[in-house]
Chains A and B, each alone.
Chain A
Amino acid sequence: MREKILAVMEKNSRIDIKDLAVLLGESEVAVANEIADMEKEHVICGYHTLINWDNTSDEKVVALIEVKVTPQRGMGFDKIAERIYQYSEVNAVYLMSGAYDFTVFIEGKTMRQVAQFVSEKLSTLDSVLSTATHFVLKKYKDHGTILVQEVQDERMLITP
């Protein structure tokens, strides 16, 4: 049941528990309990909204930053990551395989704000060797949802 709940909720976290129970052929109580358990176990870590900010009047700048670091004694990747993810400007931090160590997603109001964050806060951390900042120009698809095209039912209303 867990996987099925997650598969539905990953695409629609606002679904009624009642509807979800019907879809999965389970009782409402069982589904509610399972969700509560998953929240407790941090399987479900939050219920966010997928916003296409481009369609609002709010200006936002998103950047992806490649960060190379040198892990030091008593301070592995996790510790360095912690120094980075504590900043509220940072949306996501991933440890990467390959040519660099962390991918950091930053969100700011302006490019200057992001640049300032990188030069003044991120780059000045002791363990950080280098950074490469890439600004997001346009989001086509996010969280499995295509943002740039409208979904329309083009089927004929009645077919055999």
Chain B
Amino acid sequence: MRNPLSDVIVNIEPSGIRKFFDIVSEMKDAISLGVGEPDFDTPWHIREEGIYSLEKGRTFYTSNAGLKELRTEIANYLKRRCNLTYDPDKELVVTVGGSEAIDIALRAMVNPGDEVLIPQPSFVSYLPCTVLAGGRPVVIELEEKDQFRLTAEKLREKITDKTKILIMPFPNNPTGAVMRREDLEAVAEVIQEHDLFVLSDEIYCELTFGSERHVSIASLPGMQERTVLINGFSKSYAMTGWRLGYAAAPHIIQEQMLKIHQFAIMCAPTTSQYAAISAVRDGDSDVEMMRESYDQRRRYVLHAFKEMGLDCFEPNGAFYAFPSIKRFGMTSDEFATRFLHEEKVAVVPGTAFGVCGEGFLRVSYAYSLKNLKEALGRMERFVRRLDGKA
């Protein structure tokens, strides 16, 4: 029999998270700091809209781009939240999660051999999606000394005449880094100078802490026309399982993304779309409540790290902390594996998000205080043992 498989996909490494997941799932009574999703249930008014839509028998396809009412509410949201104006009919696509938006944006923009700049540590999909789209991923290694922000210098270093797209994964999973306005301005200058496009993954945009709220790179002068803004409902409204996201892009790009979406997906799940209308229209107070709760737990986790002598820069976004374990002379993988076996707590090795995540762990604080307390208590015990103090 002939080889049934595509070389392209076979040559893509499975996600590092998957590998660790397999180990964790064999441990029966492990507790976890490893999830990448909110611990809240979807607010009831949103779930209720989903239920109503089913009761009313709204179980058909929607238009490819998504329900008009939802697109209109998304446009309203982007206006009130980011001061961005998008035409709901020509510049928005409702997708199956932010993940689909990443995939179709890259497929709509990448020509064979085009280079796509991917700052890492970052979400696991950018690199494989680039490869699947026929592009060449070029990693920019972010550093703790820059608070894991992308600097203009680091960007310049990797630009060649083949560079076409820069991925902007902020607020960042796994580091919790955010880009402030002045950081974005410095980067935007380089982008315009080299005529690049930006795929800005702003799925965690509602989860920033401290006085500054998230700034979208698309809102900087001259940037909206060269930015595909990706967002979704998973993190802001605790709707991960609904699989619903969207992309906002200049019509020339949106049109082609919509084509891929139309042929590969048809439309995002109808029930989820009806529920999402309620989320984006009436969910601001839910978002605020959850944000405050994450912020409290963020302080709690950082405080615990400090007490146990674990270095960690202050994350100002998402719901992750990214402590350094370099002083223990172990790899992230070794640390995470030993921690799991000895204390039965799952954390994700930083290397799951890129080679430069070596020496770090991703610790999610989307857990109840009770769970955090228990898990961090075990972490302290483990660290003390490593330090020879126990």
Chain A interface (Cβ < 8 Å from any Cβ of B): 4, 7-8, 12, 15, 19, 22-25, 153, 155-160
B15 touches A160 (CB 8 A): yes
A158 touches B17 (CB 8 A): yes
Which chain B positions have C-beta within 8 A of A24?
296, 299
How many whole Å from A12's CB to the nearest CB in chain B? 8
A23 touches B300 (CB 8 A): yes
Residue of B nearest to A157 (CB): B32
Which chain A positions have C-beta within 8 A of B34?
157-159
Scan residues 341-376 of chain B and give those whose CB is less than 8 A from a CB of chain A.
Answer: 346, 348, 352, 367, 369, 371, 373
B3 within 8 A of A: no
B132 within 8 A of A: no
* A-B residue pair count with CB separations less than 8 angstroms: 58
Residue of A nearest to B174 (CB): A160
A157 touches B25 (CB 8 A): yes
B36 within 8 A of A: yes
- With A153-B39, A155-B35, A155-B39 in contact, is A160–B17 under 8 Å at CB? yes
B77 within 8 A of A: no
Q: State the CA gap A160–B354 with chains docked (Å).
A: 13
Q: State the CA gap A25–B300 with chains docked (Å).
A: 9
B346 touches A8 (CB 8 A): no
- With A19-B369, A22-B303 in contact, is A158–B35 under 8 Å at CB? yes
Given contact pairs A8-B296, A153-B367, A158-B35, a sample of 14 additional A-B residue pairs in the complex whose CB atoms are under 8 Å apart: A12-B369, A22-B303, A23-B297, A23-B299, A153-B371, A155-B37, A156-B35, A157-B25, A157-B34, A158-B17, A158-B20, A158-B348, A159-B35, A160-B123
- With A159-B37, A160-B123 in contact, is A22–B300 under 8 Å at CB? yes
Selected from B17, B297, B299, B303, the residue in CB contact (under 8 A) with A159 is B17
Most B C-beta atoms less than 10 A away, residue of A8, A12, A156: A156
Per CB-CB distance, the 10 closest pairs between chain A and chain B, nearest first, are A23-B296, A158-B34, A157-B32, A158-B21, A159-B36, A22-B303, A157-B24, A160-B17, A160-B124, A25-B299
